[in-house]
Chain A
Amino acid sequence: MTAIVVALNLALCFAGLSALALSLDRHHRDAFLVRAGAARARTLRIAGWAGIGLSFAAAVTLEGWNFGSVQWVGTLTGAALLVVAFLSYRPGWLRPAALLALPIALVALPLALYG
């Protein structure tokens, strides 16, 4: 079920990249009007890399090294473009959108595994 795995990858990459973007002062200010404190920025950074790492692990486990990695790079690009679009047009929506991506990933994971 490649389409489900693509959805799972997109959701995880999007959540991860959103956290990474918000860990940067400029984008944190765009979204929340204040700078991220050092601790918050670090938490966001760790969460962000974790999301991206999880997405890669899911892609490689579910699709194999060759397909999984190709597909993962594609979803990373798609998700990053989405993050940029949010930051540029609706920065305030980035956090809710990223939080919404997590349950989507949670639904997609069992579907991808057993669907």
Chain B
Amino acid sequence: MRQGFRQSMAWLHAWSGLVVGWVLFSVFVTGTASYYRAEISQWMRPELVAGATDPASSADLAAAYLQKAMPDAVGWYVELPKPEKPAVGVMWWKSLDGPFHQALLDSTSGAPVGARDTRGGDFLYRFHFELGMPPLWGRWIVGTCALVMLVALVSGIVTHRRIFADFFTFRRRRSQRGWLDAHNVFGVLALPFHLMITYTGLVTLAPMYMPWGVAAAYKGGEMRFYVDSGLMPDLRGPAGKPGTLAPLSSMIAQAIAERGEAPEGVSVYNPADAAASVVAIFEEPHGLAHEHPQIAFDGTTGAVLGRNGATRAAAKTSTVMLGLHEGHFAGAALRALFFLCGIMGAATVATGLVLWAVARAPKGAKADGFGVRLVRVLNLGTIAGLPAGIAAYFLANRLLPLDLAARADWEVGVFFGAWALVAVLGAVRPAGTVWREGLALVGALFLAVPFVGAIATGLHPLAGELRFLGFDAAMIVLGVLFVLAARKAGRPRPPQAQRADAAIAGREALRA
């Protein structure tokens, strides 16, 4: 039986953290990378060079392309070009259940751009909440894990008996004590972030996890809920008669005149119908909330149909939480801090997983039990495997032939392949050296990215190409950190650390 509240919380913390830890590590790492999703996409499409663009005329080019691509589509989305992202993104679909087709168009010719076929930063972003699985499956799994993460956070706070006295304490020993200190430092110093990001992440997908309130009130007309709460303008259904779409450029010009800025995108509903609607969607105005102002137009006449209303308290709360989660409002400095906090989240999970295995390692010469060995293998497979996959994904972007069929899928295949390879190596290599080998491999892969990129594309600072300095610097920093970690993992453990472990083994509360 557990003796007290704190012991039972320690047990809950250790086991809840373990079962979801590997998924959470992946969610934290890819989510943190997504703070730089646009920069990653830019690096992965080096052919696109920033330049002046005209959103209105490029929208007409996009419409011409879309009318040819699928004359009977029920919906289009046109992502208008910006100086830093000069191509026009288009998406079209025949049914809201998919499939969703997409293409990237040149903003002056309207033809598909010559950029390499890649999913760019969007792949990491979607992996963050779908894990590369069918969307519904992935979202349910990530949501369940996030819920357990909240349990682990709260039980961890209860378990940690000296939060303030040990606030700054990090004894750099490769012992159970050292791992516990690291886990505490990463967890406690960024605790506000961890609580915020986990909770707001759940709120982001709350309408999917808990649809019953809206379903009961709106009975099949759930879209109406989004109109009533001010998140969408009121849209009309199709008339069932064919119609001709007016030029999008005229509607975009009206939208620019009304709000003083170009919209970031345009949605078109039932483009070939007499009751087509066009919605201009603007960037979030300065503020924490994730709320896009929208103007709806009659697609055939170009007259304004309506706008989305103002959000009230409940909807506002939800959009502010979504905004906090995404951090779109953050400038460069604050975004770097969010990134740091995200890394600390991943590090909290990773050190917690390692600590679980270290605390349960058999003392003396006894062999590991099956459970501890399984956890060890999964730890290495995730903590070294996922970063290896990301580095390999970047390398594949530069190395795969440009005319390869389904090239974007190959890149994703390389991501999973490299991850699986590291995980398998981790399972078969001797336990004594496997961390050093795994981490050194990850470091080498990250260090290779800028050089392989420079050689494969001929774009590098010496050739006057300065666009990728930030990305390349980030790769080198990551590579160096992994190499340092590998060196540290390779050093033999000093005897005093082993003695210290033996001394605390008896009174370690984390051991359930």
Contact = CB atoms under 8 A, between A and B. Distances in A.
Question: Is the A/B pair a real complex?
Answer: yes
Contacts of A27: 168
A78 B337 contact: yes
Contact of B333 (A6, A24, A73): A6
A55 interface: no
Interface in A11-43: 17, 20-21, 24, 26-27
A103 interface: no
Q: Is chain A's binding surface mostly helix, strand, loop or mixed?
A: helix
A39 to B, nearest CB: 20
Contact of A3 (B169, B171, B331, B344): B331
A3 B185 CA distance: 26
Contact of A24 (B168, B189, B334): B168
Interface string B138-175: 00000000000000000000000000010111111000
A3 B332 contact: yes
Contact of B190 (A17, A21, A77): A77
A80 B169 CA distance: 11
B341 A74 contact: yes
B334 A80 contact: no
A6 B338 CA distance: 12
Interface residues of B, number: 25
Given A74-B341, A77-B193, A84-B170, A2 B185 contact: no
B397 to A, nearest CB: 31
A71 B341 CA distance: 12
Contacts of A89: 172
B497 to A, nearest CB: 15
Interface string A45-82: 00000000000000000000011001101111110110
Contacts of A70: 288, 324, 334
Contacts of B331: 2-3
Interface in B324-362: 324, 329, 331-334, 337-338, 340-341, 344
Contact of B337 (A26, A67, A74, A88): A74
B192 interface: yes
A86 to B, nearest CB: 9
Nearest to A78: B337
A73 B330 CA distance: 13
Contacts of A24: 165, 168
Nearest to B194: A77
A87 B333 contact: no
A83 interface: yes
A84 B193 contact: no
A7 interface: yes
A57 B167 CA distance: 23
Contacts of B165: 24
A80 B164 CA distance: 12
B262 to A, nearest CB: 24
Nearest to B320: A66
B337 A75 contact: yes
B333 A80 contact: no
B168 A80 contact: yes
Contact of B189 (A66, A80, A87, A88): A80
Contacts, number: 65
Contacts of A77: 189-190, 192-193, 337, 340-341, 344
A89 B104 CA distance: 49
B287 interface: yes
Interface string B295-331: 0000000000000000000000000000010000101
A84 B189 CA distance: 10
Contacts of B334: 2, 6, 70-71, 74
A88 B172 contact: yes
A7 B333 CA distance: 9
A26 B169 CA distance: 9
Contacts of A26: 169
B450 to A, nearest CB: 25
B358 to A, nearest CB: 19
A27 B324 CA distance: 35
* Interface hub of B168, B185, B344 (most chain A Cβ within 10 A): B168
B193 A73 contact: yes
Contact of B168 (A7, A76, A87): A87
B185 A84 contact: yes
B327 to A, nearest CB: 9
Query: When A and B form their complex, which 5 residue pairs have the shortest distance between CB atoms, in order from nearest?
Result: A74-B337, A6-B333, A3-B333, A21-B168, A80-B189
26 contacts: A2-B333, A3-B332, A6-B337, A7-B333, A21-B167, A27-B168, A70-B288, A73-B193, A74-B193, A74-B334, A74-B338, A74-B341, A75-B337, A77-B190, A77-B192, A77-B337, A77-B341, A77-B344, A80-B189, A81-B185, A81-B189, A84-B185, A84-B189, A88-B170, A88-B171, A89-B172
Interface of A: 2-3, 6-7, 17, 20-21, 24, 26-27, 66-67, 70-71, 73-78, 80-81, 83-84, 87-89
Given A6-B337, A81-B344, 10 more contacts: A2-B334, A21-B168, A27-B168, A67-B288, A74-B338, A77-B193, A81-B185, A81-B190, A87-B170, A88-B172
